[in-house]
Amino acid sequence: MSSVDLLQTLGNKYSAEILDATDEPRSAQELSDELGIPIATCYRRIDELTEHDLLELHDNVLSDDRRRIKVYRRNVDAVCVEFDEALAVDIEERSKVTNALDEAWRTLSEG
């Protein structure tokens, strides 16, 4: 993926807000409600962010009315944009340790 494509995705309206809000897993409906994003736009941004590996499908949870709901979590901890000799976008991915600790905590809290 090119730095320009990544920067364009990050620059889309609501992309940064979605990434900020998905430190903890959230469904598209939760993001739409919490951030005031139209649901169709929310799904488009989720698809774009997932396509660029900035957001990941974290789980499919069962809702109270027995429907499967996809929940997403950001896949990055930091994004750095540099304009030295050429545009460069560096991504700091969530560490495997952070992901493992999050998963363990989620499992314990559900039990």
Q: What is the pLDDT of residues 46-86, one digit of tens each?
A: 999 999 989 999 988 887 888 899 999 998 888 887 887 77
pLDDT value, residue 109:
56
Task: Count CB atoms within 10 A of the CB of residue 12.
Answer: 14
pLDDT value, residue 104:
53
pLDDT value, residue 36:
97
- 71 neighbors 25 (Cβ within 8 angstroms): yes
Q: Which residue segments constitute the domains of the chain, with CATH numbers given? A: 3-110 (1.10.10.10)
End-to-end CA distance of the chain: 40
Q: What are phi and psi of 91, to 5 degrees?
A: -110, 130
**Is residue 24 predicted with pLDDT exceeding 70?**
yes
